[in-house]
Every structure is written in C-alpha cells, then in structure tokens.
Amino acid sequence: MGMADIKDEAIDALFRQLVRDAEQGGYRLNPDMAFTKALVRGLLVNKGRYGYMSCPCRLSTGKKEDDLDLICPCDYRDSDLSEYGACYCALYVSEDIFKGLKKVRPVPERRLPETSAADGGAGITTANIMANATTGFSLKYPVWRCKVCGYLCARDEPPGICPVCKAGKERFERFI
C-alpha cells in the first residue's frame, strides 16, 4: 500500500484519536498540523504494510516481535521527550514546544541497531539497574510518585504531567 492509498478521512480519524489519547495521558502532539498529519499518514501506511503502526521515521523489519519497541508510541518516546522535548519523529512534543515557547531540535536515535524488542531497548539506553540502599533490592527503573495524587510510575524521569491529576513534573518525588 502506497502513500496515495490512504484516505484523508482515515488520517483525520486517527489524528483525532491520537489527540484525545495524548491529552488524556498528559501528552501533546506537534501543533504543526501539516507535519503531524504527514506522520499520521505514515503510521497508516505502516499499518497497511506490516499490520501494526510502527514508527513512520524508522525502518521496520516487518516481524512484529522485532519491532515491538518501534510501535508508536515507541519505547523511546518518553525518554526523548524528557531529554529533547520531542520524540524521534517529533510527533509528540513537550508542553513548551506545544505552546511555541521552545523549538523542536534534532533528536538522535536512542535505539541501537542491534536493539530488539526482546529487551525493550531498556538495558541499552539507560543505566537502569539500580541498587537502592533504602529498599535493599534492585529494579530496572526508579519509581516516581506524584506528590499530589500518589500516582506511581517507573521510568528514567518523571512524566511531564501527571496523567491522573495533571500536576507538573516538578511535583514528582523519587519513591523507590
């Protein structure tokens, strides 16, 4: 299936769903509508080609188990949002970029060529085997706690916005 086979209605429908899901979870799509719709079209092309919506800016193998980490939103989105203010494609952007306070800059590829979905890329992209003096056990990621509502998540850094109560990143504390 080529680019030309994707109908505008399908792009609009997926775009609306992505906006809704993003906003419910405290995420933002790139406000450059033409740019974003081109990426959404790419997602639909990949859906037709592979059967799943892998990243429109990367090369998929077509073998789902090897591409799991590339299915959008990819496993690297949130680390890239934290570090660069945008995901690799710039489909998802930070609140500052969404509001026009900052500009998108290039995001280097966080996934190494040999990364497969088997280890989710996590072992490679982050120094995430933690020994915690307080708890005496090891976890792959730190656990963050929203000081407002108690939401817990395990990732390199807290999310930009709490998905439950929408408190900002600075309201999170390290919990484990």
Q: How far apart are CA 103 and CA 135, in angstroms?
A: 40
Q: Give the three-class secondary structure for 14.
A: helix
Among 29-37, 38-46, 65-73, 105-113, which window interacts with a copy of itself (CB under 8 A)? 65-73
Count of C-beta atoms within a 10 Å radius of residue 148: 14
Q: Which two tokens stand for residue 130?
A: 């933690």
**Which helix (DSSP H) or strand (DSSP E) does residue 28 occupy?**
strand 28-29
Is there binding between residue 166 and a copy of itself (CB under 8 A)? yes
Pick between residue 11 and residue 18 the one whose CB is nearest to a copy of itself.
18
- Residue 56 binding a copy of itself, by CB under 8 A: no
What single DSSP character describes residue 99?
Answer: T
Q: Answer yes or no whether residue 1 interacts with a copy of itself by CB under 8 A.
A: no
Residues that bind a copy of itself (CB under 8 A): 21, 24-25, 27, 68-69, 71, 73-75, 77-78, 120, 122, 134-141, 143-145, 147-155, 159, 163-168, 170-171, 173, 175-176
